[in-house]
Structure 1
Amino acid sequence: MLARDEAWTLLCQWTPSEKLRTHARAVELVMRDLAARLQEDVALFGLAGLLHDADYDTWPGEHPKRIVAWLNERGEGDLAHAISAHYTRWNVPYDHLLDKALLASDEITGFVMACALVRPTRTEGLEPKSVKKKLKDKAFAAGVDRYEVAEGFRMLMEAVGGSEDEHLARIIAVLHENRAELGLA
């Protein structure tokens, strides 16, 4: 399996934006937490979160083809597939839990971070109901695709159970636990 250090090095080379690297790290943390809770491969789930947007900064018009090709060249087919499926409109099948987990973690993690950044207490006291209320406000974090969030929730809940509120509470907890590193302190 691809070493996490090698993945981080690639991300830093291909992603000059500190903001996008922070997003990648946040999704990595959320994915690792989900994998641990579901007794899945924590390292694999983490790598999917870390690398899902690795080529976006440098080659936005080719995203995610560059990172998918790079992973396939290294025999990382499961990772490559999950990353190629992290947007439903690319019409890639969701064959594995890894694919669904990445879809269910990407957009919503960025959205929860945006919710935290507009609060004086950041993640402290942030509740799922507040995040869901903000999701209804199309002007807030307008770049977050609400359809992708809903589909991610739907697929993850079908695969592993639970509710939107439980998924959101878990994401908030992970971001809160890592708030200093993620610029949410």
Structure 2
Amino acid sequence: MPTRDEAWQLLCDWTPSDRLRIHARAVELVMRDFAARQGEDVERFGLAGLLHDADYDSWPEEHPKRIVAWLTERGEADLAHAISAHYTRWGVPYGNLLDKALLASDEITGFVMACALVRPGRTEGLEPRSVKKKLKDKAFAAGVDRFEVAEGLRMLIEAVGGTEEEHLERIIGVLHRHREELGLAPAGTDQGV
């Protein structure tokens, strides 16, 4: 398995956009938290989150083929498969919790961050019901695929139980704990990314 440092270096080499690096880091944090709560391999889940969009900036038309090939060459078939399945319309089956967790973490993490960024307090006081209300507004964060969010949450609930609200609360909590690093500190405060 690649080390976290090797994965970060690859992400930085392939991803010039700070915005996409921050998204990758946020999904990594959400995946690590989920894995820890489920007794799964925290490093493996974290790497899936960190690398899922690693090739998108440099080769959007090939995404995710380059990162899948990179992982496959290193014998990381389960990571490669999870990344190849992080969008339902690619038609890749979801065979395990890693696959489902990545699908359920990608779009919604970006959406929760978008919700936080339009609030003066950012993640402070952000509640699942506010996120769900914003999901109904198709004009807000229009690039977030609502079907992918719904399907990811459905699969995750089917796999581990809980409710949409509980999963959203967990994601909000992870982002809140890392708000300075992710650029989600309240407006007017110093933010280190």
* Corresponding residue for residue 159 of structure 1: 159
Paired with 1:87 and 1:136, the residues of 2 have a C-alpha distance of 20
Paired with 1:158 and 1:126, the residues of 2 have a C-alpha distance of 25
Alignment identity in percent?
Answer: 83
Alignment of 1:28-67 (within 5 A): 28-67=28-67
* Stretches of structure 1 lacking an aligned partner (at least 5 in a row): none
Which residue identity does 1:147 align to in structure 2?
A: F
Question: Is structure 2 residue 145 aligned with structure 1 residue 145?
Answer: yes
* Corresponding residue for residue 84 of structure 2: 84
Paired with 1:111 and 1:158, the residues of 2 have a C-alpha distance of 21
Which residue identity does 1:59 align to in structure 2?
A: W
Residues 50-108 of structure 1: per-residue CA shift (max 9 Å, x gap): 00000000000000000000000000100000000000000000001000000000000
Structure in which a larger fraction of residues adopt helix: 1
Alignment TM-score, normalising by the size of structure 1 = 1.00
Paired with 2:184 and 2:148, the residues of 1 have a C-alpha distance of 24
Which residue identity does 2:35 align to in structure 1?
A: A
Alignment TM-score, normalising by the size of structure 2 = 0.96
Residues 103-157 of structure 1: per-residue CA shift (max 9 Å, x gap): 0000000000000000000000000000000000000000000000000000000
SS at match of 2:61: helix
Residues 8-41 of structure 1: per-residue CA shift (max 9 Å, x gap): 0000000000000000000000000000000000
Paired with 2:44 and 2:33, the residues of 1 have a C-alpha distance of 12
Paired with 2:21 and 2:27, the residues of 1 have a C-alpha distance of 10
Paired with 2:99 and 2:164, the residues of 1 have a C-alpha distance of 18
The count of corresponding residues between Structure 1 and Structure 2 is 185
* Stretches of structure 2 lacking an aligned partner (at least 5 in a row): 186-193
Question: Is structure 2 residue 181 aligned with structure 1 residue 174?
Answer: no
Shift of 1:5: 0.4
Paired with 2:150 and 2:101, the residues of 1 have a C-alpha distance of 13
* Corresponding residue for residue 73 of structure 1: 73
Which residue identity does 2:167 align to in structure 1?
A: H
Paired with 2:16 and 2:67, the residues of 1 have a C-alpha distance of 15
Paired with 2:60 and 2:24, the residues of 1 have a C-alpha distance of 15
* Corresponding residue for residue 114 of structure 2: 114
Paired with 1:165 and 1:95, the residues of 2 have a C-alpha distance of 24
* Corresponding residue for residue 135 of structure 1: 135
* Corresponding residue for residue 104 of structure 2: 104
Paired with 2:80 and 2:3, the residues of 1 have a C-alpha distance of 15
* Corresponding residue for residue 6 of structure 2: 6
Structure 1 stretches of 4+ moved >2 Å: none
